[in-house]
Chains A and B, each alone.
Chain A
Amino acid sequence: MKFYDVTDLAVRNLRESIFRNSLTTIGISVGVASLVAMLSLGIGLQQLASRRLQKSGLFDTVVVTSRRDIRNFREQREDGPAPAESPALDESARQRIAQLPGVTEAYPDIRFVTELRFDGKPHLTMVAGIPFSARNNSDAFDGIQGRFFSSDAASEVILQKAFAEELQGIRSKPGSDDTSIAELAKALLGKELTMRYAERTTPSSNSSSATAGGPEPGGESRDTAYSVISREQALKIVGVTDLDPDSMRGTARARVFLPLKLAQNLHVMQTGARDVSLSPSGAPSYNSLSVRVKNPNQVPDVEEAIKKMGFGAFSLVDATRSMRQFFAVLDGFLAIFGSLALAVASIGIVNTLVMAILERRREIGIMKAIGASDADVRRLFFAEAGAMGLVGGTVGVTLGWVIGRLINFGTNVYLERQHFPPTQIWSVPLWLVFGAIGFSLIVSLVSGLYPASRAARLDPVQALRYE
């Protein structure tokens, strides 16, 4: 029998007992829906976690330090040049690192403790430079009140919530969440504060040229001479962020954020053993660089390449691998629980088809008497099981999608009540849609195996006698 005829007869037969077959199909739908809902939740949570982790910069960032730095003396044990011979972490090194394959950007970490005056009162705090790209790829500014910097060198500042409270003389107890960030921002946005800082300047230009011809670049004498000038910089408050200053993120330990370019241009004397904010040649030199990598998988390669260049490098890449492992196990468990309903539904298919064989015993006998082969009868019952699986799978995926939407909606309503930003905890990728329908089809066909072969083996003489 041709495929068209098998399908046509199967659909016709299913329509004949529409009520019973619909109930069976609904059973399959519920099974598929639970599977889809469970897996979409697992996938959604995984995506949420990896999105957060990716944005946190913990897993796609390599921190590069100069091995000449006294803090890296312990790394002397490793391969590579000794600290004294290792290259300087300056602008040209930054550019070379930025051009490594897989690297999206490399920027210096600029952080210093300084005094900020607001309303005539001094406040001492840590200030950090933030690259302009952080606007898009960091979640630190997700809940920002106000806006991000208008440009990479604007005289603007973003405050951390705790510092904003300090400026207004509010003392919040640790862990309490009584002051709304919106209220804090209202009073501060657009106002100015003054930053007093120590600028490190190079000696006069002729002394710079003199050192260039002197000892080998990178020698100790190179940055021995510099002067410190006290300066002031007016900064406009453009944003207040909820970011936790004690989070793992390096730059986040600061409570005040400047645009990175501005911070670089100010040549603030930074804390650190060598204090190499500016080399005598005029090219800036850095304590450390943050290197962002396109994909966390590329982090080990980039790290290796940087180490080969003679710098110290470290990353937290292993954490993403274990996270993926965790979610693979979680998804597996969710899939097993989701499949339980489908397993029950498959028993429903067997039951329905066995009932259909009993009911249509005589019909099977007639078909055999007029020339249907065992294979024709088997295919017919197989097609009926398959059709129920296909329809049940499609309806189930739709149902699962709706359930997922509802869970997501409910979660977001709850989050909103708790003053959290809405989030997507649920995701139905295309592979899940087709995978679930395919799985439902396969389960149905397997369920149809026994009834189909039983129908095929019916003795036509016995079947024709059946009333």
Chain B
Amino acid sequence: MRAVDGISIDIRAGEFVALLGASGSGKSSLLNLVAGLDRPTSGAVIIHGSNLASLSREELAKYRLHTVGMVFQSFNLIPSMSLLENVELPMRFAEVDRGERSSRARQALERVGLSGRLAHRPMELSGGEQQRASLARALINRPKLLLADEPTGNLDSRTGTEIMELIRSFNQSLGMTVLMVTHEQALAERYAARMVHLADGRLLGDVSRDDASENAASRGEDEPRIQNEVDEIVPDISPGPRGETR
């Protein structure tokens, strides 16, 4: 069974893209491909000129560490660690010095409004607070790409809005590219500049809010680009002319 089949999209740096679709439509699978957590059986995922499909496991880990920040529906904080330790964790993998690690984690938690909760464990916090901590962790290694998998799925609408506002602020103030998976059309319409609709692993529609008639942006300015070949006889995994925007 093909979870993602024949999808070809280009995303420009700094774009806020929502991946929409029903359960099992392949949107999370697509997100995992962009996150470097999964590999396509054929086709290519080209981020900043390098094809994730051809990277080794170690290179993919480095990519996840430095280029991507991830936010999950179920927050995925490590329950045995305090918020500060959770946010520090990616910096341990990046071998950041201990002193710098602590100050950067504090700043990040302060930025998401959790400066009073540093020593708390995730279970002691509300869902909204956990998701904010998870956002702080996702951004701690200053990634270029923020991937959010149903970030408001486990939150009430008010808290969900808070989280979405935070994500939007990162997108706008830091120029961070955001790729968000959601099944809430309204949420996508409100925050995303572009909506990509999937069904049964296939691309249904790709609509930009600014210009609904235009289908995706020109390739030269793209950042992430996904080509998932339906037909393996026509492999087109070679990257096009890349114009890095960062």
Residues of A participating in the B interface, judged by any CB pair closer than 8 Å: 1-2, 4-5, 9, 12-13, 16, 362-363, 365-376, 460-461, 464
Contacts and interface: CB of A to CB of B under 8 A. Distances in A.
25 contacts: A1-B93, A5-B95, A13-B80, A16-B80, A365-B76, A368-B61, A368-B64, A369-B35, A369-B37, A369-B72, A370-B70, A370-B89, A370-B93, A370-B137, A371-B64, A371-B66, A371-B94, A372-B61, A372-B65, A372-B93, A373-B65, A373-B93, A460-B37, A461-B37, A464-B37
B154 interface: no
Contact of B37 (A13, A368, A376): A368
Nearest to B143: A371
Size bracket, chain B contacts = 20 to 34
A371 B78 contact: no
Top 6 A-B pairs ranked by shortest CB distance?
A: A371-B65, A373-B61, A5-B92, A371-B93, A370-B90, A366-B76
B156 interface: no
B101 to A, nearest CB: 9
A16 B121 CA distance: 13
A362 B75 CA distance: 12
Contact of A371 (B38, B57, B61, B72): B61
Contact of B76 (A369, A371, A373): A369
A-side interface mostly = helix
Interface in B75-105: 76-78, 80-81, 89-90, 92-95, 98
A369 B64 contact: yes
A461 B72 CA distance: 12
Given A461-B38, A464-B72, A373 B92 contact: no
Interface of B: 32, 35, 37-38, 57-58, 61-62, 64-66, 70, 72, 76-78, 80-81, 89-90, 92-95, 98, 137-138, 141
B131 to A, nearest CB: 14
Nearest to B69: A370
B160 to A, nearest CB: 21
Given A1-B92, A1-B93, 11 more contacts: A5-B92, A9-B92, A369-B70, A369-B72, A370-B65, A370-B70, A370-B137, A374-B57, A375-B58, A464-B37, A464-B72
Nearest to B70: A369
A12 B82 CA distance: 12
Contacts of B93: 1, 367, 370-373, 376
A376 to B, nearest CB: 6
B97 to A, nearest CB: 9
A189 to B, nearest CB: 75
A373 B37 contact: no
A460 B66 CA distance: 17
B184 to A, nearest CB: 21
Contacts of B64: 368-371
Nearest to B88: A5
A172 to B, nearest CB: 76
Listed residue (A4, A12, A371, A375) with the most chain B CB atoms within 10 angstroms of its CB: A371
Contact of A464 (B76, B81, B94): B76
